[in-house]
Amino acid sequence: MPYQLVGRTVDVRITGDVLTVFDAGEHVATHHVTGMRGAYVTDTDHIPPNMTDTRGLWTSEYFLREASRIGPATKEVIAGLIAQKAIPAQAYQSCRNVLSMGKRDKLVLEEACRRLIDTNGAQRAVSYTAVKNMMAAVRKDHTTRPTGTTTTTRDTTTPAFGTAPVPARDTRGAYLGGAAQFSLENLTKKGPTK
- Give the burial string for 143-171 (b: 16+ CB within 10 Å, else e): eeeeeeeeeeeeeeeeeeeeeeeeeeeee
3 state SS of 176: coil
pLDDT at 22: 92
SS3 of the chain: helix, strand, coil, percent, to 5 = 45, 15, 45
- Domain contains 190: no
For 123, other C-beta atoms within 10 Å of its C-beta total 6
User: Is the pTM above the cut of 0.85?
Assistant: no
What sign does the dihedral 76-64-138-107 (CA atoms) show?
positive
Rounded to the nearest angstrom, the gap between the alpha carbon of residue 125 and the centroid of all alpha carbons in its chain is: 7
Three-state secondary structure call for residue 87? coil
Q: Same domain for 65 and 139?
A: yes
Among candidate residues 110, 125, 143, the one where a domain is terminated = 143
Considering only CA atoms, which of 12, 7, 16 is closest in space to residue 28? 12
For residue 178, being part of any structural domain is answered with no
17 touches 36 (CB < 8 A): no
State whether 64 and 40 are in the same domain: no
So what's the pLDDT on residue 95? 93
The Cα 117–Cα 60 span in angstroms is: 19
The tally of domains found in the chain comes to 2
Name the residue range of residue 34's domain: 3-46
Looking at the structure, tell me whether residues 131 and 64 fall in a common domain.
yes
Does one domain contain both 117 and 66? yes
Q: Check whether residue 110 and residue 133 sit in a common domain.
A: yes
Q: Which pLDDT score, from 0 to 100, does residue 109 have?
A: 93
Q: Residue 64 has what pLDDT?
A: 93
The pLDDT averaged over each successive group of 10 residues in the chain (194 residues) is 82 88 89 72 69 66 92 93 87 92 90 84 76 90 64 48 57 65 72 54
User: What integer pLDDT is reported at residue 8 of this predicted model?
Assistant: 86
- Could you tell me if residue 142 is left (phi over 0), alpha (psi between -120 and 50 degrees) or otherwise beta? alpha
Please check whether residue 180 lies inside any domain of the structure: no
Q: Measuring CA to CA, which residue among 112, 115, 117 is closest to residue 131?
A: 112
User: In terms of domains, do 30 and 76 share one?
Assistant: no
Tell which residue, 74, 64, 79, has the closest CA to residue 107: 74
Tell me, yes or no, whether 84 lies in a domain: yes
Residue 175 maps to a domain: no
Residue 90 within any structural domain of the chain: yes
Residue 154 lies in a domain: no
- The answer to whether position 98 is within a domain reads yes
